[in-house]
Structure 1
Amino acid sequence: MGEAGVAVVSRRGAERLRRGHVWVYRSDIAALPADAIVEAGAEADAPRLLTVNDTRGVALGTALYSPYSEIALRLISTEVLESEAAWLGLLASRLKAAIEQRQPIFTGTDTDASRLVFSEADGLPGLIVDKYGRLVVVQLLSKALDSVAVRIVVTETLRAALGPEVSVIVERPDPRIRELEKLSADAGSAPLWSAEEEPLLKTVFRLNGLAFHYDAAAGQKTGAFLDQRENYSAAARYAHGEALDVCTYQGGFALHLAQTCSRVTGVDVSHASLEVAESNLGLNPHLKAQVDWMEANAFDLLKDWSEAGTKFDTIVLDPPAFAKSKRAVEGALRGYKEMNLRAMKMLRPGGVLVTNSCSHHVSGAEFQAVVAAAAGDVGRRVRLLERRGAAADHPVVLTIPETEYLKCLVLKVE
């Protein structure tokens, strides 16, 4: 790529890379090549790959470059790649390896939905690939990935690796990331590939033996929360009696609880999500529990019901991320404490609380401490039954803390 393609990073940035992280923030860049500097609002064809050097001129590897993101560099190799072709070859091999590593997880199971690629955790920063039945959803979350060549390699590799297991490959941009990274306006406007002339973007997938609707044009994330798959099963093992699922979204926890509980109430602020949850309930007529849905704000409902003396035997708390930045952590911890305190008040003795946090800025220790503080405030003895994280198809890389974002505590409240 030559000297023109070199980014120089500060000592702090270089040390982060040497410790095994792959991000370099814009504030840690000491110098960029001239063609990589993009004025605000200007349209420019900035380079997608840059060699990364420290201030002494020692090469640290090759990174994907974003002219707009605060995470300006994402390391893809500790070696200097000489061409974009070398990067595309690396992309294909890592994508294939990611899929192969997940095959043993799902062989012989009653699940046909999984995360195939988990960004930095699979050595492919900014790339997410999820599979729902035979429908595969791709997200490109970095400007450096926003190219025809990348889309071709991803599509061809997925087709070769999955074979008859895939009938449609669709790109689903994240609206917030599309704006921040200034991604192509037409991204996601048509399937990347389809075996059919009229591709179906809706399907039904199976998770732990339960059936769920999927619509590639609706819902959060890529459409569902596959990271909770194993926690759904764990919650069902401990759940009993009357259950409450707070922030149920499309009924993931609620339908699993309905396998072992007598009655389940799923609560969400989104009417559209609850409509999908009701449709999902209809796909599983074998569930014996009475299942009801309620549209409500979680904080208001928990406050009203805890003060009214409403009781349950099992409660699941699965709120959206409260801390989108480090500055938001203090407020997030207050929110988590409030929710857990109210839930503990509402549990009968011997009740089960399954409480979750998907805020990667809130550590596991911080989350557990705030739940313990809530227990102290309400005077309940709380035993830890299980400490859990994301499902196995969302691997954790120890040197990249952001890959360990989901915390799940299964508790017995005495």
Structure 2
Amino acid sequence: MNRRGFVAGSLRLKTGPHRVLEGAPWVYRGEMYHADLTPGTVVELTEVNGRFVGKGFFNPASLIAFRLLTRDVHDVIDGAWFRRRVRDAAQMRQDLLGHKDAYRVVNSEADQLPGLIVDKYGPMLVVEILSLGLVPFTADIVEELVAIFQPQGIYERGDVPVRTKEGLPRTNRMLFGTMVSPVHIIENDVVMLVDLADGQKTGHFLDQYPNRRRTGELAAGRRVFDAFCHTGGFGLTAAKHGAQSVIGIDIDENAVARAQENAAANGLNQVEFLTANAFDWLRKESEKGPQYDLGILDPPAFTKSKDTVAGAIRGYKEINLRGIKLLKPGGILVTSSCSYHMSEAQFIEVVRDAAKDAKRVVKILEIRGQGLDHPMLPGLPESRYLKCLVCYVS
């Protein structure tokens, strides 16, 4: 132990510009000199001249080899430190969201807990551990979550590919208590049944909750289509808030079955869900001309690397072109992209080009993003991945 607290070793930045010096919490493997250090350990990072930068996790197996924990030279990185970070993250959500039934409790780097995701679903917590360095502190993290929330259970979703790159096993397990899945939550006055064990991500796309609410506010009296509907969050919110009719389309038959269950649980009889390829449905339906008053496009990420952005742009343009053609004059299009590599400017250009080809005038009413429980870091543009445009089509 010294004045800088315990560290297992040190890393030194190479000469040159580095994002970590401008506020980013990452350093790539090729940016540093390092000795033979144990993967997953807490290390100290310095500039080439020896000036202290911060402490963080080191894992040479990952392209992002250093993940910043703190820039405070006096911080001691131990179990108590992680407990404080978890407590601070939870307190921020409770202050901002009150007694919301389901939300993100910890959002990785944005909460100074790189690689840690914690989502709350009613009586359950779902955890993702995506950094090898978190393993020695997992027990402390779980104990703090139990102390704050008194959950019925804490379930770890460990079946994500990035764990392989970190040297972590791809297994799911209970970390505390007993499993409840599926679990009922209430979001925007809609009852949703969420599959924590086998659903996408941690069970539900929590980041879109404010955009689903906004869509509901615009839905009264409108005929609605919801393409890439997953378990029905957008469409059901529209129906709950007075939509005349809703049709939802998704290629995942399990998601569609769950969407149908959710519609029944809410007594929403004006909703229909179809198992179909949303691209094909949009193309065929748009050939019939304008039929709807509100359209929702919430596809999965079309690109996860810079190399495939061109193809993603074509995909986004196609669905937005078809979506615009389906809307009557005065219709509303709510269109999203969760692809970080598709910038906001590029996404707006996609909608512009789709409107031009559709020979329609499109006005952007709002530019939205992820909810308050998914904070972003100014120094990490990657943390602002969700773009949602609310557009008026005339």
TM-score (norm 2): 0.93
The answer to whether residue 108 in structure 2 is matched with residue 124 in structure 1 is no
Aligned partner letter, 1:377 = D
Deviations 1:204-262 (A, max 9, x none): 11111111112221111111001111100101111242110000000010101112211
What is residue 95 of structure 2 aligned with on the other side? 104
Equivalent of 1:7 in 1, 11, 31: 11
CA contact (8 A) 2:223 2:292 kept: yes
For residues 279 and 7 of structure 1, what CA distance do their matches in structure 2 show? 53
Structure-2 separation of matches of 1:266 and 1:82: 50
Specify the code of the residue in structure 2 equivalent to 1:252: G
Alignment of 1:368-379 (within 5 A): 368-379=348-359
Residue equivalent to 2:280? 300
Find the aligned partners of 1:114 and 1:35 in 2 and give their Cα distance.
37
How far apart are 1:366 and its partner, in Å? 1.3
Kindly provide the amino acid, as one letter, of the partner of residue 193 in structure 1: F
Aligned pair 1:227/2:210, yes or no? no
- Distance in 1 separating the partners of 2:367 and 2:7: 49
Flag structure 1 segments of 5+ consecutive residues without an equivalent: 37-45
Q: Distance in 1 between matches of 2:350 and 2:7?
A: 50
Match of 2:53 in 1: 60
Equivalent residue letter for 1:48 = T
Runs of 4+ in 1 over 6 A off after TM superposition: 1-4
* Deviation readout 1:131-188 (Å, 9 max, x if unpaired): 000100111011211x2x321111111111223xx21111111421222222135x53
SS across alignment from 2:336: strand
Question: CA, structure 1 residues 12+124, in 2 after alignment: closer, same or farther (shift >3 Å)?
Answer: farther
SS at 2:287 equivalent = helix
Q: Which residue of the other structure, out of 362, 373, 381, is the alignment partner of 2:342?
A: 362
CA distance in 2, matches of 1:16, 1:353: 36
How far off is 1:32 after superposition? 1.4
* Counterpart-to-counterpart distance in 2, 1:392 and 1:381: 32
Structure 2 residues not aligned, in runs of 5+: none
Cα distance change, pair 277–5 in 1 and its aligned pair in 2 (3 A): same
* Aligned equivalent of 2:328, options 345, 348, 351: 348
Quick one: distance in 2 between partners of 1:167 and 1:55?
A: 49
Which residue identity is paired with 2:49? R
Alignment of 1:4-43 (within 5 A): 5-12=9-16, 15-29=18-32, 31-36=33-38
Q: Which moved more, 1:52-61 or 1:152-161?
A: 52-61
1:391 matched residue in structure 2: 371
Secondary structure of 1:136's counterpart equals strand
Contact 1:51 1:80 in 2 (8 A): no
Distance in 2 of aligned mates of 1:212 and 1:102: 21
* Counterpart for residue 142 of structure 1: 131
Residue 248 of structure 2 is matched in structure 1 by 266
The structure-2 alpha-carbon separation of the partners of 1:79 and 1:107, relative to structure 1 and needing over 3 Å to count, comes to closer
Over aligned residues, Cα RMSD in angstroms? 1.9
Instruction: Please point out which of 310, 313, 318 is paired with 2:293.
Output: 313
In the alignment, the residues of structure 1 paired with residue 359 and residue 182 of structure 2 have an alpha-carbon distance, to the nearest angstrom, of 48
Q: In 2, are the aligned partners of 1:360 and 1:402 still within 8 Å (CA)?
A: yes
Distance 1:47 1:277 in 2: 40
Shift in Å, 1:120: 0.9
**Counterpart position of 2:319:** 339
Say whether the 8 Å CA contact 1:76–1:125 is kept in structure 2.
yes
Cα drift, residue 307 of structure 1? 2.0
1:310 and 1:382 map into 2 onto residues whose CA distance is 14
Deviation at 1:81, TM superposition (A): 6.3
- The amino acid across from 1:268 in the alignment is D
| Among candidates 133, 149, 154, match of residue 141 of structure 2 | 154
* Structure-2 residue corresponding to 1:182: 167
Which residue is equivalent to 1:41?
none
Is contact 1:4–1:33 with CA below 8 Å preserved after alignment? no
Work out whether 1:246 is the aligned partner of 2:227: yes
Residue type matched to 1:134 in 2? Answer: P
**Are 1:248 and 1:266, in contact at CA under 8 Å, matched by a contact in 2?**
yes
Give, in angstroms, the shift of residue 193 of structure 1: 1.0
Residue in structure 2 matched with residue 88 of structure 1 by the alignment = 79
2:84 counterpart letter in structure 1: S
Q: Return the offset for 1:302.
A: 1.3
Letter paired with 2:47:
D
| TM-score normalised by length of structure 1 | 0.89
CA drift at 1:47: 4.5
> Residues 3 and 205 of structure 1: is their aligned pair in 2 closer, same or farther, counting only changes over 3 Å?
closer
Aligned to 2:65: 72
Which whole-Å CA distance do the structure 2 matches of 1:139 and 1:4 have between them? Answer: 25
Change in Cα spacing, 1:347 to 1:49, as seen in structure 2 (3 Å) is same
User: Identity over aligned residues, as a percent?
Assistant: 39
Identify the residue that residue 153 of structure 2 maps to in structure 1.
168
